[in-house]
Structure 1
C-alpha cells in the first residue's frame, strides 16, 4: 500500500524536540479483531487515502503496530498522543490496558512508560463509533450509509496524528496565554507536573528574533499565573498586533529548571489580539471590524475529515484569503490544530464550532459538555479564534422552542463557554432560535437582492423576519442590541466538475454565477445594520455543489473577481 506521510509536528503551539511520529502503515481489522488489512494512519478507513476506501458501516475497528524508541528518548517518561479518535478509544501497549477515551474530535494522551520494554513495543487500539447514534456528537457525519442532503460520509477511528513524546518527570503540562493589548501584557497561566521545591519556570518572549521580555518564576504551586509586560510597542500602533491584515506573532519559550539543570523546554507562539463587542459593534484591536467569512466544512475528497497534507491545509487558508475573505467559520468540525496554525501564521479569523449531536438526552448533554470543554482548552491560545459556536441551528436541541430543558441547555453552553473563555464572543445557537448570545446571527438563503436589501434595511424588518420559517429568538428571549451578522447565505449551485449535486439556488454559467454572487454579497454590504457575513461555502462537498471552489479546490470563477465583489467594487 502506497503511504502518504503526515509527518508535520501535530501540536504547533506547544512543541518539544523529543517526539516520534507514529503515522503510516498499521495493521487493521473490522469488528472481529482479525488484522486482515493495512491502513494508512491517520486516514479513516472510509477514505481513499487510508488504502481501504470502504464507506459501509463498521462500528468497531482495530489498529495495531510496533515501534522502537529512539535512543535519545530512553530514560524519560513516554506519552502516547492521539490527535483524535472517533468516537471511543481503548488502548493497549504490550498487552497491558493503558487507557480509554471518549470524544471523537479532541486529543488525549496516555503515559505508557511503565509498560514499555526494550526493543519492539506493540500498541493496539480499539475504536468504537456507533454509526447511527444520534446522541453522539457527530457534526456532518451521516447516520445512513449513503450520503445525502447536507450530510456526508462518516469518519470512524483514528483521523488525526498519533505520536510519542518524551518528557522529564517534572514537566510543563499546559499553558494558557491571554493577551491584553490595553496594558501591553500577556497573562501566562501554567500547569507543572511533579513540581519539587526550588524548581523554576523561565519564560522568554521574542518578536522577529529579538528578545522583548523574559521572566523567571520561582514555582510555589503546580498551577498559577503570571502577567508579563512586553514594553516593546505603542498599543495604538498596529505594527505588532495580530490581525488578518498583519498576522504578527510573538515566539515564546518555556524552560522548567532545577538549579542549572533544564528539565523541560517547550516552544510556542502567541498573538497580541483583542476581540470585543462595544456599543453594539464588533471590535478587533479596539477598532470596528467587518467580518467577511466563508463557511468551511473542512472535508476533502480523498481524506474526508483528514486533510491529505499540511500543504493542502495551508492552501485552503491561502485560497480563502485570495478571495477577499478575512475569516472562516469551521462548520460542525473541531478542526486540526495545523489549520489553526496556518490561520494564525497567514492571518485568518476562525469561528470555532462544536460538532453537534442530533437528539437531546442526559447522555447527549454529558458528551457534548465534556468534549466542548476539551476543544476550548485545546484551542484557547490561537489568536485566529475569535468566536465560539457550541450549537448550530438547534441541532441537538430540536425542541428548543417548546422544551424548557433544551432552552436551559442552550443557555448553559453559552455560560459554560464564557466561564472557560471570557475573552471571545459566544454564539449559543447560530442561525436562529437564539437564547443568550453575544451576536445575533442569522441564516438566510434568499437569493434575490431586492428582498435581501429590504429585509436588512431596518432593525424592525430584521427582527420581524423569519428566514427559513424559523424564529430568530426562542420564547422568553429578545434582541438586546447585539451586533447582527448573516452567518449562512448564498449557497449558489454551479456545476464545474464531474460531481453531481445541489445548492440553495442555481447558476447556469460563469457569468450567471458571478452575477448571483454579486447580488447576495452586495445586498449585505449595502445594509446599514449587518456587520459581517459568512458565505456558504468554500468548496463543493460530496453531493453539494454550492462551493466557490470544486471539491478538489479548483476555482469556479476568477478568484480576483470574487475578491472584487467581496470588496464592494461590483462586477466592472
Structure 2
C-alpha cells in the first residue's frame, strides 16, 4: 500500500463550512484564451459531453437555498471556466504573478477528460486572474469567494496573501477576501491543493489511486463550482428551516458572518406568490413560524415553500431567498411493528443506489441537465428514494431531489477499506468531524430523510463505533432517521450495533428481509446487482461480475421483476420499510445499472420496472396479513417414527396404515438402525438421505415447525442438514448443524438462528431439535432439548418450498449439499408455529415410539 509524506507544503487538518445552490446565468470572470485549451477524449462520452466548453462550464447558480438577493436574479460572478494549472512536487511554494504551464477547465476534477488534464497529481496549483465588478465593493459590501468542494487540502491566496486553508474533500467553504483585494486592476487567485486520495486515512468514498472492481477513479482538486458574491458587512452564512408537521411550523436557525449585535432577521413564507406566514427575531436567535393550512411535501406531491429573508441592523442589510418542504420522517409502531412513516403514514422507501460517477466528469456531472437526469429517471422508474452512496453531491443535486420528489438516504463518505485496525485517534476524530460537517451543510435539504455514517464497516474501527457516531449524528439532527450501520450482516467489522433507528442488511442478489425489532424499523440496504454488459458502452476496465449476470435485456427484466416481487409479497406487507437496488447506472468496473455508464442505453423496460416498483410501495401501506391457524395439537401433520427394520420406505404415522399420508423413500443405501427409542434413520454423511414424493410444508408467508431427534457421528467444519425442503435453488429452510458456527441452527439460505445457549454438539449424543418459523412475529427460532436456544428476526419465507421434504441433506445453489453423518429419530412436521410449552412437551414425550 502506497504511503507518502503528507506533511510537505500542504498538511492535513480539519475544517467546516456551508454549502447550498439554482438556475440563473451568472456574470463571467475573465479567462485565459480558450484556444489554448482542448478537452481530452473520455473513454465514454455522455449525451452532455459535447455541451461543455470553457464558456459554459456549469453556469447554473450553485446555491439554491441561499440565493442573493433572489432566486430569479442572484448576484454572483462565476469563476468556473479556464484556470491556469500545474502539477507540483509538494515542496515548491506557489509563485505569484507568474503564469502556470497548463490550463484546466474548472470545476472538473483533474482525472476527468472534461478538465483537459485527465491525470492525477497529488499536489497542484490553480491560478486565475480577474476583474472584480466595481459595485461588489460599494457601500461597505464585502466580497466572498466560495468553493463548492475541493479535494482535499486547499490553501487559497488572493494577490499573494493567504486568505483560507481548508481540508475536507466534500464540503463547501467560503472566505471574505475584501481585505486582500487591490484597489484597482486585475486580482489574482491562486489555490494550492494536496489530494492524497487513499494514500491517507481520510474520507474518500469509492475513490482510489489504483481503481479496480467496486472502487473507482479519483476526483482530485476543484470539483464543484467556484464563485464570487458581494454581501453586506453582516450577512447570513447559513439558513435552516427545520419542519415540524405536528405543529405545522418551521424552526428557523441561522449562522452569520460579521457583527450580529442588534441585527434582526425577518422571514416571510410564501406559497407561490402568496405570503402565508412571517416572523421576526434577533439574528442568530430561535424563530418559529407556523404555517396555516399546511401543504406537506412528499414524493407524490413535492411542494416547497419559498422563504424571503431580510437581515437588518447597524445600517447593513442582507437579503436572500430560500426554500424548504414541510414533512416529517419517523419510526413508529404500526400494527405492532416498527415502520418508517412519512408525514405520519407508513411508507416503503424503495431506492436505487446512486454513486454519482460520470465517465467524462468522474465526480462532476458534465451539465446541470445531466445531474438532473439520473434523479428524473429514478422517479420515472417508480422509485421514491435514492441512497446517495458514500459521496456528497453539489447543492444542485439536492435541489433537484427536493423539486422532483425523491427521498434521500445520505451516506458519509467512507475511509479507505482494509485499515480499520490501524486507524489513529486523529483519523477517527477527523472522520467524525467531517460527518458532522456533512450534517451541518445538508440539514436544510428537504429530501434527505436519513443519515448513514458507515457502510459495510468500511473505516469502522469497532462495532461500538457505529453506535457512537450514530448517536453523534442523532444528537446533531434529531429530526431525521439515523441508520448507524448499513449492511450490519456483512463485510468489514461485521455486527449489528443494536442502536439507531434502522436494522439494515445487505444481500446479493437478495433481497434481504430483516425484521424490525422493538425499537427499530428494518430495511434491505443493498441487493440486486443484476449484470448486463452492452457492447460499445462499457468502461475499459469493466471486467467484473460480482453479483449475477444475465444474458440479455429480457432476462434482466424478468429477473428484476421476480426479485422485486419478493419485496412486494414477503417484505413490505410484513414490516420491511425499505430496500435499495444496486444500481441506477453502471459505474466503471460494475455493469449492474438500469442504464449504461454513459447514460445512452436504458437496459430495462421502464414500464415493467415502474409497475412492480409501485406495487411494492403500495404493499408497504397495507396491514400484515394473518397467518393460517394451522392444525391444533402436537401429533403433527406428518410424523416419521422410523420404526422399520428393513426396506427403503419410512412410514408417515399420520394417515392410513401401513404407510400413512406421505411416506419417505430412503436413497443411496440409507438404512434403519439403532435409535433413541427403537430404530432410527442412519445416514453416512456422503450421499444418503430420505425424501417425500412431493412438497409437504407450505413455506410462503405462513407459520410452520419441524421437529427431530438427532445424533451426530462427527461434528466438524462442514454443514450437516437434519431436515429441509427443496426450493428452486436453495432449501426453503434448514434444520441443521452449522459447521461454520459449531452450533445447531434453524436457517434460511441468507440467515441462521443459532443455538448459542448449548455450545457445540457432542458427537454420539442425542439432541431434540425444533425449528419454528413464525411469520406473525417475524422470527426464526431454534429449540434444543425443549428450551429456546436462539432466534433471529426475518421477514418473508426465505426460498419458497417447491420440491420434496428431505431428511439428511439440503439444497444450495441448485445442488444437493450438507449430507448428515449420523442418525435421525422421531421427525415431525407442523403447519403452525409451536409455542414454547408445546416444544417442551414434545421433548418430554420423546421420539414417540
Is this a same-fold pair by TM over 0.5? yes
CA contact (8 A) 1:212 1:232 kept: no
Task: Pick the aligned partner of 2:458 from 395, 402, 414.
Answer: 395
1:15 pairs with one of 67, 77, 95 = 67
Which residue in 2 is equivalent to 1:216? 280
Structure 2 counterpart of 1:276: 330
In 2, Cα distance between equivalents of 1:536 and 1:102: 31
Checking the alignment, whether the CA contact within 8 Å between 1:43 and 1:49 is kept in structure 2 is yes
Q: Report the alpha carbon displacement of residue 262 of structure 1 after superposing the two structures with TM.
A: 6.3
How far apart are residue 143 of structure 1 and its match?
3.6
- Residue 526 of structure 1, CA deviation: 1.3
Question: Is contact 1:92–1:98 with CA below 8 Å preserved after alignment?
Answer: yes
Pairwise CA distance, 1:19: 1.6
Quote how far apart the aligned CAs of 1:134 are.
4.6
Asked if the contact 1:198–1:258 (Cα under 8 Å) also holds between the matched residues in 2, the reply is yes
Deviation at 1:481, TM superposition (A): 4.2
**For 2:114, what is the secondary structure of its paired residue?**
helix
**Which residue is 1:122 aligned to?**
188
Map of 1:236 onto structure 2: none
2:345 to 287, 299, 308: 287
1:511-526 equivalences under 5 Å are 511-526=554-569
Q: Residues of 2 paired with 1:139 and 1:480: CA distance?
A: 32
Q: Which residue of 2 aligns with 1:403?
A: none
CA positional deviation for 1:567: 2.5
Instruction: Say whether the 8 Å CA contact 1:255–1:262 is kept in structure 2.
Output: no
Matches within 5 A, 1:244-393: 244-258=299-313, 263-279=317-333, 280-358=338-416, 359=419, 360-393=423-456
What is the deviation of 1:522?
Answer: 0.9
Alignment of 1:47-126 (within 5 A): 47-54=112-119, 57-75=120-138, 76-117=141-182, 118-126=184-192
SS at match of 1:50: coil
Judging changes above 3 Å, is the alpha-carbon distance between structure 1 residues 285 and 196 closer, same or farther for their aligned structure 2 residues? closer
Matched, 1:509 2:552: yes
**1:374-523 superposed matches below 5 A:** 374-397=437-460, 406-432=462-488, 433-435=495-497, 436-446=499-509, 456=513, 462=514, 480-498=518-536, 499=538, 500-503=542-545, 504-523=547-566
Give the Å deviation of 1:258: 3.6
How many Å separate the matches in 2 of 1:311 and 1:413? 35
Larger displacement relative to structure 2 (499-508 or 81-90): 499-508
Q: How far does residue 196 in structure 1 lie from its aligned partner after superposition? A: 5.9
Question: 1:203-262, CA deviations, whole angstroms, 9 ceiling, x for partnerless residues?
Answer: 111002111012232x2xx531111111234xxxxxx21001000000001101248x66
2:195, 2:454 → 1: CA distance?
22
Label 1:185 to 1:80 Cα distance change in 2 as closer, same or farther (>3 A): same
Is the contact made by 1:414 and 1:437 (CA closer than 8 Å) also made in structure 2? Answer: yes
Unaligned runs of 5+ in 1: 234-239, 401-405, 457-461, 464-477
For residues 130 and 196 of structure 1, what CA distance do their matches in structure 2 show? 39
Give the superposition deviation at 1:562: 1.3
Question: How far apart in 2 are the matches of 1:324 and 1:9?
Answer: 29
Higher helix proportion: 1
Number of residue-to-residue matches in the alignment: 524
Contact (CA 8 Å) 1:92, 1:99: kept in 2 or not?
yes
Q: CA RMSD in A?
A: 1.9
**Mapped pair 1:536 → 2:602:** no
1:559 to 606, 610, 613: 606
In structure 2, the CA distance between the partners of 1:257 and 1:415, relative to structure 1 (3 Å rule), is same
Checking the alignment, whether the CA contact within 8 Å between 1:62 and 1:127 is kept in structure 2 is yes
**TM-superposition CA deviations, 1:58-89 (whole Å, max 9, x none):** 21011000111112212321111111000100
The C-alpha deviation readout for 1:123-149, integer Å capped at 9, x for no partner, is 0011101144251110000142xx211
Paired residues of 1:349 and 1:386 also in contact (CA < 8 A): yes
Q: Deviations over 1:510-559 (max 9, x none)?
A: 11111111121111221223221100000000111010111112211221
2:280 paired with 1:242: no
Answer with 1 or 2: which has the greater Rg: 2
CA contact 1:191–1:224 (8 Å) conserved in 2:
no
User: C-alpha separation between the residues in 2 aligned to 1:200 and 1:441?
Assistant: 45
Please give the per-residue CA displacement for 1:363-405, whole angstroms capped at 9, x wherever unaligned.
Answer: 22122112111111111011100000111100002xx5xxxxx
2:195 is aligned with 1:149? no
- 1:198 shift after superposition: 4.4
Matched, 1:192 2:247: no
TM-score by length of 1: 0.88
Shift of 1:197: 5.3
On the 8 A contact 1:441/1:487 being kept in 2, the answer is: yes
Conservation of the 8 A alpha-carbon contact between 1:18 and 1:72: no
- Name the counterpart of 2:290: 229
